[in-house]
Amino acid sequence: MNSSNDLSILQGQCIVIFAYDVGFSIRIEEAERRITTIKERERIKRTRPAPAYFDYQPPPLRIIQEQTPISVGTHHTLPTIETVLYDFGAMMVMYRISLQGSFSNLLPLSEALYEHQGLWNASQTHVQHLLETLEDGVEKPKLSPFVEDYAIFHIIQTQPSITPAHFLEQSGPTIAQILRCEDEPLSQQEIRDAIGPQISFGTEDVTLIDWNAALVIGKEMDDVRAVLEFANVELVERRFLDHQLDNALDEAYRRFTKRPWSSYLWPASMDATLRHIAGLQMDSAMLFERVTNTLKLFGDQYLARVYRMASQRFHFQSWDMSIVRKLETLENLYGKMSDNAGNRRMEILEWIIIILIAISIILPFIPGFPGY
């Protein structure tokens, strides 16, 4: 067995991901027409048998452009930057760093990547420039302040060669520090939690998924990386949607409780507020549905397990419960406002009828009134 101290990486790469929400939707065909650099419609590269419907629906657009290398500790990014555009209004920016040398060098790289301001600023600037290029190719363009960053350490070949199971058993503490971006030794409890979520398809590969980073060991792991990349896009969209619903609830409550006195006299004045809230409901529900149904994993049991493990690590279920609860609350608030406006209309109609009846009773007693 080989420890992390004497293990040398012959071939590997670190993929640094920044996921953004940039608008309500992206017209992929229009974006493909406007972008003149290298581009392709993203498809998952299958390394195992999988049904034909296992893929993105619809496929996103991957753009590859030249980029000045950025220093990350003792490493540098490759002179290219990759951007993936999703139809539900998300962009994913990726930087690649070549990995060679001692496995222990991954720890200082992991520490340097944690909230790396240079990569962060460069990715935001890149997204803003791309939004300007796309123009009306993005519906309701707005760069969200939410960003999700993630690092995938992919080890392809080592010297000497390793058996992943034995390597994890012996180098677990170092791997946990890399995944947690911690230079201090971790407790056994923290080590178990960091390297616990792991999955393998064969005897020569393994994937470990943590909150800040993932470690992938093996050849032809593009499909696993694609699932992890998309999971981070889903995470930033869930964060954005949860925040958007918070704002929608606050606005709906404010409009309902701080209405001008005239709205009580004229119920139709509530129509604009109801239409606004209904629009917020529709936008939020549409985004939630499109995000959660873009990647079809039915039929590939292994990648479905990879995705399930990532969703558990990123707490998708908790985010979904929060989003659904807020959608239901917004629906209830809309219903109460609509009922209130309806009741006001009925009360006004009743008063109109009472007044008309009273007038019809009084008219015969008015001397000289025509007809009486």
> Is pLDDT of 99 > 90?
yes
Angle between helices 164-180 and 188-195 (to 10 degrees): 110
DSSP letters, 16-59, are EEEEEE-SSEE-HHHHHHH--SEEEE-----SS---TT-SBSS-
Name the band, by pLDDT with cuts 50, 70 and 90, for residue 259. low
Instruction: State residue 179's pLDDT score.
Output: 94
Looking at the chain, the whole-number percentage of residues with pLDDT higher than 90 is 38
Burial class (CB in 10 A: 0-12, 13-18, 19+), 33: exposed
Query: Which 8-state DSSP code applies to residue 142?
Result: -
Q: What is the mean pLDDT of residues 321-345?
A: 77
Q: What is the mean pLDDT of residues 172-183?
A: 92
> Is pLDDT of 53 > 50?
no
Torsion over CA: 269, 271, 276, 281 (sign): positive
CA angle 178, 14, 121 (to 5 degrees): 95
Name the band, by pLDDT with cuts 50, 70 and 90, for residue 296. low
The pTM (predicted TM-score) of the whole model is: 0.81
Calculate the CA dihedral of residues 326, 329, 331, 333 and round it to 10 degrees: -140
Question: Distance between CA atoms of 110 and 114, rounded to whole angstroms?
Answer: 6
Question: Distance between CA atoms of 98 and 194, rounded to whole angstroms?
Answer: 24
Instruction: State residue 52's pLDDT score.
Output: 45
> Is pLDDT of 298 > 80?
no
> Is pLDDT of 114 > 60?
yes
Q: Which of 29-38, 127-136, 166-175, 177-186 has the lowest mean pLDDT?
A: 29-38
Instruction: Tell me what the pLDDT averaged over the chain comes to.
Output: 83
Q: What is the mean pLDDT of residues 143-172?
A: 90
Name the band, by pLDDT with cuts 50, 70 and 90, for residue 51. very low
pLDDT in tens, 220-246: 898 899 889 989 999 998 898 888 888
Question: Distance between CA atoms of 222 and 216, rounded to whole angstroms?
Answer: 10
> Is pLDDT of 324 > 70?
yes
Instruction: State residue 54's pLDDT score.
Output: 42
Instruction: State residue 355's pLDDT score.
Output: 85
Question: Distance between CA atoms of 1 and 76, rounded to whole angstroms?
Answer: 31
Calculate the CA dihedral of residues 110, 111, 112, 115 and round it to 10 degrees: 100
Q: What is the mean pLDDT of residues 307-329?
A: 89
Q: What is the mean pLDDT of residues 312-333?
A: 86
pLDDT in tens, 197-210: 899 998 889 999 99
Instruction: State residue 96's pLDDT score.
Output: 96
Name the band, by pLDDT with cuts 50, 70 and 90, for residue 106. very high
Q: What is the mean pLDDT of residues 296-323?
A: 84
